[in-house]
């Protein structure tokens, strides 16, 4: 009997060792350890044995049972571990793979132009200053020589928040803000890019657009300085061969006021559809700071002079890249934006 029991244990251990699934392990457990198993059936012989034999036999059955159980448990653990490893292997994510359909963003044309213009002026020693988009009537108009009921207000009708607060119609109020912050002591040499708002909406005008204001205040500043500055800007922005010309114009806050044209970069000045046959393209408004504006903003106009200019951001980009409609800047059509992805 004892030999048979030891044989059963060794048989059981062999089948456990070769089992390759938890199901098979369960079958083996039933075969060797259930009540009806051969091993357990030996229990019924207990009563035929003497007291001493009973103890030894009981112990043998118990250790055999424990041996088989231990083998089953360790195999079970081994199989579970293997199953987990296989699962992890199958579900592995390779984080070094580049994701497909990866869409990279790029600078908006508007930002590219602001950066380009800013670079040109900072290289000439200008500082960049920002002003608020929500302005007061006082800064947007009155300090710029446009009192209430002045006809120049018509050209810049904007969005009023109440009688005194509005969305600025130009970046020019930054001139007044900077001058007042200097308490009459120059020099000042700034540009100020930002958004402005007007009651406009067509292919070349939008209710929201960008401007870059420029202001220089110092002793002995002349129209010649303005001309030289803008000529350099035109060449850097539109090509070394560009010439500029000034035509007299009117802005309430400058005297004299000028409209600045560049020689057409499409036809070189011969006349084409871009320059409407004139050979010249208007790029910005400028002038010498009006003595009254200097005075209102705390500067002695007998000691200080200055020049100012205002550049349209979208207009510059439209000219440079042949964009036909200002609204393309705001509709976020990727086919448009991608054309200016230089990165
Ligand atoms: N603020 C003017 C406009 O929006 C543009 C402008 C013209 C600004 C002449 C200036 C300037 O600083 O001197 O139409």
Looking at residue 140, what is its pLDDT? 97
Pairing of strands 188-197, 208-218: antiparallel
Q: Is 192 in the pocket of ligand 1 (CB under 6 A)?
A: no
| Ligand 1 center–CA 187 separation, angstroms | 20
Q: Mind listing the pLDDT tens digit for each residue in 36-91?
A: 888 888 888 878 888 888 888 888 889 999 999 999 999 999 999 998 998 998 88
Pairing of strands 127-128, 188-197: parallel
| Ligand 1 center–CA 251 separation, angstroms | 7
pLDDT at 152 over 70: yes
Looking at residue 56, what is its pLDDT? 87
pLDDT at 120 over 90: yes
* CA 327 to each of CA 171, 240, 331: distance values in angstroms, whole numbers, following the listed order: 20, 30, 7
Q: Residue 118: which residues within 8 A CB-CB, separation 6 or more?
A: 128, 191, 193, 212
Q: Mind listing the pLDDT tens digit for each residue in 217-272?
A: 999 999 999 999 999 999 999 999 999 999 999 999 999 999 999 999 888 889 98
| Number of CB atoms found within 10 A of residue 204's CB | 14
Looking at residue 96, what is its pLDDT? 84
Q: What is the DSSP string of 294-322?
A: HHHTT--TTT-EEEEEEEEHHHHHHHHHT
Answer yes or no: CATH 3.40.50.300 is held by domain 109-338. no
Distance CA 302, CA 325 (A): 45
Region of poorest pLDDT, from 141-150, 198-207, 224-233, 292-301: 198-207
Question: Taking residues 288-296, what's their average pLDDT?
Answer: 98
Q: Is 140 in the pocket of ligand 1 (CB under 6 A)?
A: no
- Name 279's bridge partners: none
Position in ligand 1 atom list of the atom nearest CA 155 = 14
Q: Mind listing the pLDDT tens digit for each residue in 155-193?
A: 888 889 999 999 999 999 999 999 999 999 989 999 999
Q: How confident is the model at residue 1 (pLDDT cuts 50, 70, 90)?
A: confident
| Ligand 1 center–CA 277 separation, angstroms | 26
Q: Whose CA is nearest to atom 9 of ligand 1?
A: 286
Q: Whose CA is nearest to atom 5 of ligand 1?
A: 310
Contact yes or no for 165/135 (Cβ under 8 A) = yes
Where exactly are the structural domains of the chain? 2-90, 109-338
Position in ligand 1 atom list of the atom nearest CA 170 = 4
Q: Is 252 in the pocket of ligand 1 (CB under 6 A)?
A: no
| Number of CB atoms found within 10 A of residue 172's CB | 29
Q: Is 254 in the pocket of ligand 1 (CB under 6 A)?
A: yes
Contact yes or no for 187/221 (Cβ under 8 A) = no
pLDDT at 329 over 70: yes
Top mutation candidate among 157, 251, 260 for ligand 1, by most atoms within 8 Å of CB: 251
Residue 125 per-residue DSSP state: T
Looking at residue 257, what is its pLDDT? 98
Q: Is 310 in the pocket of ligand 1 (CB under 6 A)?
A: yes
| Ligand 1 center–CA 258 separation, angstroms | 10
Q: Which residue has tokens 């002995």?
A: 220
Pairing of strands 280-289, 305-312: antiparallel
| Number of CB atoms found within 10 A of residue 334's CB | 9
pLDDT at 343 over 70: no
Q: Is 308 in the pocket of ligand 1 (CB under 6 A)?
A: yes
| Ligand 1 center–CA 285 separation, angstroms | 5
Top mutation candidate among 170, 193, 255 for ligand 1, by most atoms within 8 Å of CB: 170
Position in ligand 1 atom list of the atom nearest CA 213 = 12
* Three-class DSSP labels, 84-112: HHHHHHHCCCCCCCCCCCCCCCCCCHHHH
Distance CA 120, CA 118 (A): 5
Question: Taking residues 299-328, what's their average pLDDT?
Answer: 93
Q: How high does pLDDT run on average in the chain?
A: 92
Q: Mind listing the pLDDT tens digit for each residue in 191-224?
A: 999 999 998 877 778 899 999 999 999 999 999 9
Q: How confident is the model at residue 35 (pLDDT cuts 50, 70, 90)?
A: confident
Token pair belonging to 276: 């409407």
SS3 content of the chain, % helix, strand, coil (to 5): 45, 20, 35
Distance CA 169, CA 252 (A): 14
């Amino acid at each position: 009997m004892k030999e048979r029991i030891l044989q059963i244990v060794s048989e059981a251990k062999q089948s456990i060792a070769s089992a390759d699934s938890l199901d098979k392990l369960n079958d083996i457990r039933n075969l060797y350890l259930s009540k009806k198993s051969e091993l357990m059936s030996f229990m019924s012989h207990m009563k035929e044995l003497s007291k001493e034999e009973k103890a030894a036999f009981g112990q043998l059955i118990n250790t055999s049972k424990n041996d088989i159980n231990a083998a089953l448990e360790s195999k079970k653990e081994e199989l579970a571990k293997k199953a987990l490893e296989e699962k992890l292997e199958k579900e592995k994510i390779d984080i070094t793979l580049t994701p497909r359909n990866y869409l990279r963003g790029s600078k908006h044309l508007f930002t590219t132009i602001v950066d380009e213009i800013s670079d040109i002026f900072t290289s000439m020693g200008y500082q960049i200053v920002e002003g608020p988009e929500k302005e007061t009537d006082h800064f947007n108009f009155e300090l710029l020589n446009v009192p209430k009921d002045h006809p120049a207000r018509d050209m810049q009708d904007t969005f009023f928040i109440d009688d005194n607060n509005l969305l600025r119609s130009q970046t020019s109020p930054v001139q007044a803000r900077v001058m007042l912050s200097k308490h009459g002591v120059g020099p000042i040499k700034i540009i100020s890019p930002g958004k402005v708002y007007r009651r406009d909406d067509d292919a070349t005008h939008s209710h929201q657009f960008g401007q870059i204001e420029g202001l220089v205040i110092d002793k002995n500043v002349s129209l010649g300085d303005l001309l030289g500055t803008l000529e350099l800007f035109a060449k850097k922005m539109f090509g070394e061969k560009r010439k500029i010309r000034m035509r007299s114009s009117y802005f309430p806050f400058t005297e004299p006021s000028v409209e600045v044209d560049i020689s057409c970069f499409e036809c070189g000045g011969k006349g084409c559809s871009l320059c409407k046959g004139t050979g010249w393209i208007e790029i910005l408004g400028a002038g010498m700071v009006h003595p009254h504006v200097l005075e209102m903003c705390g500067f002695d106009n007998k000691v200080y002079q200055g020049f100012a200019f205002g550049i349209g951001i979208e207009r510059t980009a439209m000219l440079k890249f042949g964009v036909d409609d200002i609204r393309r800047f705001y509709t976020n059509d990727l086919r448009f934006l991608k054309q200016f992805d230089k990165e």
